[in-house]
Chains A and B, each alone.
Chain A
Amino acid sequence: MSQENGIPKIVPTAHDSIVINQPMVRDYSTGGGHGPEDTLVEGDDQIVTQKWQGYPPVDLNVVGKSNAPLPEVAIPRHTGTAQYATRVWFPDLLYGKLLVNPHPRARIVRLDVSAAERMPGVAYILTAQNAPANFPMSEELRYAGEIVAIVAAETEDLAEDGVAAIDVEYERLPFAATLDQVMMPNAPQTRPDRENVNQTNIEFGDVDGAFEAADVVREFTYYFGGARPIPMQPASCVAKWDGDQLTFYAMGQRIYPHRQSLARGLGIDESNIRFINKWNGGTFGPDTGSVRFQVFISHIAKMTGRPMKISLPKDQELGQMSVKPESLTHFKVGATSDGRITVCQREVHVAVGAGGGGGGGRGGGRSELYLHVIPNWREIAYNYTTNSQLIGPSRSNAQQEFKFAWESMMDEMAEAVGMDPVEFRLLNIQKPGTQVTHESGGPTVSEMPESENDTLTYDSYASVEVLEEGAKTIGWDQRNPIPGGNPGRFKRGFGVANSQHHAGRVGYREGEVGFERIMAEIALSDGGFGGGGGGGAPFNAELELRDDGNIYLHFAQPDSGTNHATSMAALVAEILGFTSLDHIRAIWGDTDLAPSAPGWNSGLTTQLQGGALNAAAEKLRNDLLQRAGAALGVDVAELEIRDGVISSQANPQNQTTFAALARANSGVISFPGQAVHPGSIGRAMNRGIGACFAEVEVDTWTGDWHFVRSAYCHDSGQVINPLVAEGDMTGSLIQSFQMTTDAIPSDRELPGIRHYSVGYLSYRLPTIMDVPDATQVFVNSLEPRWFYGTKGFAETSIGAVPGAIANAIYNACGVRIREHPITRDKIMAGLKEREAGA
């Protein structure tokens, strides 16, 4: 609230955030990532780069200010009118229910739906016998939760009655559903078409020599039990046909790629589908799997001539939405006596599920190597195909699940060399100026349009700042360095961990060095949207000025509570000289109203979809200035543009408006824009870094514990909207907190999904009583290569949370939990062990 005229006014403002502004003039002397036309100039005793793309972060009016989210996106959330697929309603809706495979692996030997078909209200039953030709349903079931049949009926209850009346006999097949099981020497082959294990090795430097030379060598093993992001909205969709035209209401993070898959599955042309998905009740990544039931629901709607809806119960979602994999990591690490890591060997075993797909299916993303300097590296990765759910992005891809092990290891190594964990990280962390090569730890580096001599360099990279500012904010100096060293029953402890992700600037917009080259490469590809929204078709956008003086943003991306429309609107507003968001409107999430684009993920929405809008905004700005110059008889360079008015700097009375210019052009002036993800060609190297500082309290009598406080630190670049960013990062923190404490799927004895059937008593999401006091620390590291110094940071810090909590618990009570998830019983067991040892 702000106090004006006595009575406080409710204004949009961030409440628990600190923004650390870094100077614009900084040492970018290392040069990597610069375009050939950039020049380096001296200034303020430091070398500063001049490459603000014409949009330096000075005199900002909208960007960097807290604004309430765009009303057209946000107000419907409050009034119960945001059109989630679950809210779509027609008077003649059919409701679907799934019959899913209860066994980890089975073959259907008999399936009789005759009794079910006769049940009251049952309209249609889809099974392998009548599934669409282009999109068959399998009778070989490779994991629990696979769809066996879908019943469409007048109500959900009647559909369930139909499911219950289906007579199905399974032949149970030998299975290995968990990492434990698949790693056994006599594990059965989990899929007939594939060896269980796929091994990859990566090595650089002289690993064996470095171990010989190291002063300290330690080995550690960690287990991560898998995790699942669990949006509130049930996995859901509605299909409605009008003749051969399908209107499809979906839940997900992409409309055009899903429309393409749906069209292929149904064997129809994409243009026959209007795909609408404006709001989601959260998604958090794992929507890719929902394509399967989308096709089936559309098919049933076609066959029955009725609109159809499905909304999955929480246990069945496990079979349809991807999860984070189980993994086992064994480290052998060498360091010098003064604490510098010289060598690391990582052996990682990952249960990649029955599909084996998804970006998380790799033996770690290896983004850990962008985090710390590891001159000698060996990775042996085993990916196991298991009879378990599909894996894939789940509120980040390959972050929490691998950083838990990595950041626990960093803590244990700090202790092994006798250093404070923050000091140890500061010593070993990548810093601006580090040239990333294969030798210095960049195995995924590939040639980029802007790379120099085959290397890329971290420049806007606030690795030191996130650690130092976070330590300051949490009060790290109060930390007792002795684990469990504080007196009394309730012991507080502090922990830290880092994370680093592919957020940050990862694409190219129209008119930029590299854009044309990537577009040329894409022209040679198959025209698909690429996996997970990257590496395929360009992001298109359209910007429209209407004679009401408002700017309409047309873009594809559905909102999941992400508020990316608001962020993109702020950039467009800034480019066009507005001082508020009042004249920006969003039109999104509908293939009839927005141009094509891949989906959003990984914190790149504002850069890619936003980049396309920014490119269009640049064009519109230039066009409007040209028009105004002509109309006013003033040289374009002499014009000022502000809040929809273009005026002569010399004579402000000589002016025109956006609305007038639109009116003079048949009421509309519009421009398209494009941006593109480099995809398989490589990724730009401006990656953000994050740190999580956690304070916990452990009840050493009972094992009870609480996450008390956090300083959550983000190398964020210029924050576009601190209010929205604070909310997003609070969600990031709490979601990772949940993943730290709740493994899914967790049952190693009786694998399956049925016993996760009591909603959020099965998936224990943190409640209002469980969340810590959190302060968001945004380090404005001013990304020089993007508009106003912004960069994506949605997943920059998210991987740090599990390690920070594990390390804090260790510091509090001396119990090192190497087996995820962190639970009260494990803390109790550790306390007991310590007591016995003491």
Chain B
Amino acid sequence: MKYSRRHFLKAAGSGAVVLTTVGGYRSVAGSAASAQMASGIPAPMTVEIGTFIINGATYQAEYEARTTLWEVIAMKLALTGTNRSCNRASCGACSVLIEGTPYYSCHTLATEAREKDIFTVEGLGDADNLHPIQAVGHRYVAADCGFCTPGWEVTAKGLLDENPDPTVDEVKMALSGHICRCAAYPAIIRTVVDAGKVMRGEAEL
């Protein structure tokens, strides 16, 4: 875990730092901070500005300690492709890859993902340049309502990057942390297996 002090020192400059954010709210780093100063412990972070590398592009955002990664991505940076459904780590809709590994962005504090490579559905492909997972998914109707789709698609991308030829059981295991309310599960499994084939040149669109 990389981190450096400069991220939280921002909040600790004086006993009562007043910060103004993009959205215009004010937050006060209050008396708690001053208490620690006395004991020589750096003040805790309540608000910080972080850098996020999302699909290769660099963004900055100011957020609170309690702000989740999803809130930064979708609310602060307006990269709205990633959906949040349950907000309790129980559905997988909000999944993103951090350094290639899938995490629930609703259940990851934004501060954890600072300066790391984040991959979201926007990085997968757009209408003019669909990723095989998207193109095969369209032909197999692997998305009905589509709300869970960005989540499992990025997890599937992570899987195929690591294991280009997964078995059905491996796909099921890898995607087991994703609820599809419309229960397109059979189509999702077929899509991931066959997208792998397309990526390996063993099938074509």
Instruction: State whether the Cβ of A728 lies closer than 8 Å to any Cβ in chain B.
Output: yes
Instruction: State whether the Cβ of A231 lies closer than 8 Å to any Cβ in chain B.
Output: yes
Instruction: State whether the Cβ of B71 lies closer than 8 Å to any Cβ in chain A.
Output: yes
Report whether A7 and B146 are in contact in the complex, using a CB–CB cutoff of 8 Å: no
A-contact bits for B157-172, CB 8 A (1 contact / 0 none): 0000000000000001
**B14 to nearest A CB, angstroms?**
18
In the bound assembly, the distance between CA atoms of A279 and B146 in angstroms comes to 9
In the bound assembly, the distance between CA atoms of A771 and B178 in angstroms comes to 13
Instruction: State whether the Cβ of B80 lies closer than 8 Å to any Cβ in chain A.
Output: yes
B181 and chain A: residue at smallest CB distance? A232
Report whether B91 and A759 are in contact in the complex, using a CB–CB cutoff of 8 Å: yes
**B6 to nearest A CB, angstroms?**
24
B28 and chain A: residue at smallest CB distance? A120
Q: Please name all residues of chain B whose beta carbon is closer than 8 Å to the beta carbon of A560 when the two chains form the complex.
A: 145
Q: Please name all residues of chain A whose beta carbon is closer than 8 Å to the beta carbon of B180 when the two chains form the complex.
A: 768
Instruction: State whether the Cβ of B86 lies closer than 8 Å to any Cβ in chain A.
Output: yes
Instruction: State whether the Cβ of B115 lies closer than 8 Å to any Cβ in chain A.
Output: no
Report whether A79 and B88 are in contact in the complex, using a CB–CB cutoff of 8 Å: no
In the bound assembly, the distance between CA atoms of A452 and B153 in angstroms comes to 55
A730 and chain B: residue at smallest CB distance? B183
Report whether B175 and A768 are in contact in the complex, using a CB–CB cutoff of 8 Å: yes
Known interface pairs A232-B181, A727-B144, A761-B88; A75-B127 also in contact (CB < 8 Å)? yes
Instruction: State whether the Cβ of A758 lies closer than 8 Å to any Cβ in chain B.
Output: yes
**B104 to nearest A CB, angstroms?**
10
Instruction: State whether the Cβ of A121 lies closer than 8 Å to any Cβ in chain B.
Output: yes
Report whether B143 and A74 are in contact in the complex, using a CB–CB cutoff of 8 Å: yes
Identify the interface centre among A77, A563, A759, A760: most chain B CB within 10 Å of its CB: A77
Report whether A10 and B122 are in contact in the complex, using a CB–CB cutoff of 8 Å: no
Instruction: State whether the Cβ of B109 lies closer than 8 Å to any Cβ in chain A.
Output: no
Instruction: State whether the Cβ of A154 lies closer than 8 Å to any Cβ in chain B.
Output: yes
Known interface pairs A10-B139, A71-B138; A154-B24 also in contact (CB < 8 Å)? yes
Report whether A313 and B87 are in contact in the complex, using a CB–CB cutoff of 8 Å: yes
Chain A interface category by residue count: 35 or more
Q: Give residues 541-576 of A contacting B (CB, 8 Å).
A: 560-563
**B198 to nearest A CB, angstroms?**
7
Q: Which of B88, B189, B205 contacts A10 (CB 8 A)?
A: B205
Q: Select the stretch in A40-48, A81-89, A577-585, A686-694 that faces chain B.
A: A81-89
**B66 to nearest A CB, angstroms?**
6
Known interface pairs A9-B205, A731-B182; A760-B86 also in contact (CB < 8 Å)? yes
Q: Please name all residues of chain B whose beta carbon is closer than 8 Å to the beta carbon of A88 when the two chains form the complex.
A: 80
Q: Please name all residues of chain A whose beta carbon is closer than 8 Å to the beta carbon of B197 when the two chains form the complex.
A: 8
What's the count of A-B pairs with C-beta under 8 Å? 239
Q: Give residues 9-37 of B contacting A (CB, 8 Å).
A: 21, 23-28
Report whether A158 and B189 are in contact in the complex, using a CB–CB cutoff of 8 Å: no
B63 and chain A: residue at smallest CB distance? A155
B25 and chain A: residue at smallest CB distance? A121
A69 and chain B: residue at smallest CB distance? B141
Report whether B143 and A561 are in contact in the complex, using a CB–CB cutoff of 8 Å: yes
In the bound assembly, the distance between CA atoms of A95 and B71 in angstroms comes to 12
Report whether B204 and A563 are in contact in the complex, using a CB–CB cutoff of 8 Å: no
In the bound assembly, the distance between CA atoms of A20 and B64 in angstroms comes to 59
Report whether B144 and A561 are in contact in the complex, using a CB–CB cutoff of 8 Å: yes
Q: Please name all residues of chain B whose beta carbon is closer than 8 Å to the beta carbon of A69 when the two chains form the complex.
A: 138, 141
A-contact bits for B106-129, CB 8 A (1 contact / 0 none): 000000000000001110111100
Q: Please name all residues of chain A whose beta carbon is closer than 8 Å to the beta carbon of B71 when the two chains form the complex.
A: 155-156
A121 and chain B: residue at smallest CB distance? B25
A733 and chain B: residue at smallest CB distance? B183
Q: Which of A80, A89, A232, A723 contacts B122 (CB 8 A)?
A: A80
B-contact bits for A737-767, CB 8 A (1 contact / 0 none): 0000000000000000000011111000111
**B114 to nearest A CB, angstroms?**
18
Known interface pairs A12-B140, A760-B88; A232-B203 also in contact (CB < 8 Å)? no
In the bound assembly, the distance between CA atoms of A766 and B188 in angstroms comes to 15
Known interface pairs A8-B202, A81-B127, A121-B26; A723-B150 also in contact (CB < 8 Å)? no
* B contact residues, total (Cβ < 8 Å): 77
Known interface pairs A79-B127, A234-B85, A760-B91; A765-B181 also in contact (CB < 8 Å)? yes
B-contact bits for A90-110, CB 8 A (1 contact / 0 none): 010101000000000000000
Q: Which of A79, A153, A734, A766 contacts B124 (CB 8 A)?
A: A79
Instruction: State whether the Cβ of A769 lies closer than 8 Å to any Cβ in chain B.
Output: yes
Instruction: State whether the Cβ of B190 lies closer than 8 Å to any Cβ in chain A.
Output: yes
Report whether B183 and A281 are in contact in the complex, using a CB–CB cutoff of 8 Å: no
Instruction: State whether the Cβ of A489 lies closer than 8 Å to any Cβ in chain B.
Output: no
Instruction: State whether the Cβ of B95 lies closer than 8 Å to any Cβ in chain A.
Output: no
In the bound assembly, the distance between CA atoms of A8 and B136 in angstroms comes to 13
B-contact bits for A190-215, CB 8 A (1 contact / 0 none): 00000000000000000000000000
Report whether B122 and A314 are in contact in the complex, using a CB–CB cutoff of 8 Å: no
Instruction: State whether the Cβ of B184 lies closer than 8 Å to any Cβ in chain A.
Output: yes
In the bound assembly, the distance between CA atoms of A419 and B102 in angstroms comes to 53
Report whether B67 and A157 are in contact in the complex, using a CB–CB cutoff of 8 Å: yes
Identify the interface centre among A78, A154, A723, A767: most chain B CB within 10 Å of its CB: A78
Report whether A76 and B127 are in contact in the complex, using a CB–CB cutoff of 8 Å: yes
Q: Give residues 495-526 of A contacting B (CB, 8 Å).
A: none
B interface: dominant SS: loop
Report whether A87 and B80 are in contact in the complex, using a CB–CB cutoff of 8 Å: yes
Identify the interface centre among B26, B80, B190, B202: most chain A CB within 10 Å of its CB: B80
Q: Please name all residues of chain A whose beta carbon is closer than 8 Å to the beta carbon of B83 when the two chains form the complex.
A: 80, 84, 86-87, 232-233, 281
**A711 to nearest B CB, angstroms?**
15
Instruction: State whether the Cβ of A659 lies closer than 8 Å to any Cβ in chain B.
Output: no
In the bound assembly, the distance between CA atoms of A314 and B201 in angstroms comes to 43
Instruction: State whether the Cβ of B81 lies closer than 8 Å to any Cβ in chain A.
Output: yes
Q: Please name all residues of chain B whose beta carbon is closer than 8 Å to the beta carbon of A727 when the two chains form the complex.
A: 141, 144, 182, 184, 187
Instruction: State whether the Cβ of A280 lies closer than 8 Å to any Cβ in chain B.
Output: yes
Identify the interface centre among A76, A282, A724: most chain B CB within 10 Å of its CB: A282
Instruction: State whether the Cβ of B93 lies closer than 8 Å to any Cβ in chain A.
Output: yes
Instruction: State whether the Cβ of A450 lies closer than 8 Å to any Cβ in chain B.
Output: no
Report whether A281 and B146 are in contact in the complex, using a CB–CB cutoff of 8 Å: yes
In the bound assembly, the distance between CA atoms of A456 and B24 in angstroms comes to 66
Q: Please name all residues of chain B whose beta carbon is closer than 8 Å to the beta carbon of A234 when the two chains form the complex.
A: 84-85, 87
**A70 to nearest B CB, angstroms?**
10
Report whether A89 and B194 are in contact in the complex, using a CB–CB cutoff of 8 Å: no
Report whether A759 and B88 are in contact in the complex, using a CB–CB cutoff of 8 Å: yes
Report whether B186 and A765 are in contact in the complex, using a CB–CB cutoff of 8 Å: no
In the bound assembly, the distance between CA atoms of A84 and B74 in angstroms comes to 13
Q: Please name all residues of chain B whose beta carbon is closer than 8 Å to the beta carbon of A74 when the two chains form the complex.
A: 138, 141, 143, 146
Report whether B141 and A232 are in contact in the complex, using a CB–CB cutoff of 8 Å: no
**A89 to nearest B CB, angstroms?**
5
Q: Please name all residues of chain A whose beta carbon is closer than 8 Å to the beta carbon of B51 when the two chains form the complex.
A: none
Instruction: State whether the Cβ of A230 lies closer than 8 Å to any Cβ in chain B.
Output: yes
Report whether B184 and A86 are in contact in the complex, using a CB–CB cutoff of 8 Å: no
A88 and chain B: residue at smallest CB distance? B80
B21 and chain A: residue at smallest CB distance? A154
Known interface pairs A7-B203, A121-B25, A760-B90; A232-B186 also in contact (CB < 8 Å)? no
Report whether B145 and A233 are in contact in the complex, using a CB–CB cutoff of 8 Å: yes
A771 and chain B: residue at smallest CB distance? B185
**B197 to nearest A CB, angstroms?**
7
Report whether A16 and B130 are in contact in the complex, using a CB–CB cutoff of 8 Å: no
In the bound assembly, the distance between CA atoms of A84 and B85 in angstroms comes to 12
In the bound assembly, the distance between CA atoms of A7 and B203 in angstroms comes to 6
15 contacts between A and B (CB under 8 A): A15-B187, A74-B138, A77-B145, A78-B130, A80-B124, A81-B126, A81-B127, A120-B26, A153-B25, A281-B85, A281-B148, A314-B88, A761-B88, A768-B185, A769-B176
Closest 6 CB pairs of A and B: A80-B81, A77-B146, A281-B147, A561-B145, A759-B86, A759-B88
**Chain B interface (Cβ < 8 Å from any Cβ of A):** 21, 23-28, 64, 66-67, 71, 74-75, 78, 80-91, 93, 120-122, 124-127, 130, 133-141, 143-150, 153, 172, 175-176, 178-190, 194, 197-198, 201-205
Q: A79-B134, A84-B83, A724-B141 are in contact. List 20 more A-B contacts (CB 8 A).
A: A71-B138, A80-B124, A81-B126, A87-B80, A89-B74, A156-B75, A157-B66, A232-B93, A281-B147, A281-B181, A282-B144, A282-B147, A727-B141, A727-B184, A730-B184, A758-B88, A759-B85, A759-B90, A759-B91, A767-B179
